[in-house]
Amino acid sequence: MHDVDQKLAAMGYTLPTPPKPVASYAPVVISGDLLVVSGQLPFHNGKLLATGPVPSVATEQQAKQAAVQCTLNALAAIKDALQGDWSRLTRIVRVGVFVLSDDRFANQPAIANGASDLLAQVFGETGRHARAAVGVNALPLDATVEVELTARVIPEPT
């Protein structure tokens, strides 16, 4: 787990500064050994990577890349919450991927693979997770994708 940043760099990614909440919520909550990351939008350098529904406005490939960016933002939030100590993360438990979709679009799982594949590449078996891939008719700020996740962590000593 200590080489998360190195693995990401080898893949061409750098974790951003953790995004600030766009409403009234905590970006990360740790309760016991569970860490829950609030839904992350595909912000990159302060701008949304993709907006609008799939496939009429955003392509499936754009949406899949947006799911990757959402996941990078979630990882940045985790790193911040764990004060950079990746050794405390023991498992990615569940990922929820919400895709702004046209009425008849049904390929949300392929878009969610952007998030799932990244987590598996970075964390190996520890990154394999349960998942929901859901089509929705609206997301905050008209984002194409939103990703939330739950992880298991070693609690801080009290």
Residue 2: pLDDT over 70: no
Query: Which pLDDT score is estimated for 1?
Result: 53
Instruction: Summarize pLDDT for 25-58 with one digit per residue, the tens.
Output: 999 999 999 999 999 999 999 999 999 999 999 9
Distance (Å, rounded) from C-alpha 115 to C-alpha 103?
A: 23
Residue 158: pLDDT over 80: no
Q: How far is CA 89 from CA 97, 106, 108, 118, 142, in A?
A: 21, 33, 27, 16, 31
Instruction: Summarize pLDDT for 61-90 with one digit per residue, the tens.
Output: 999 999 999 999 999 999 999 999 999 999
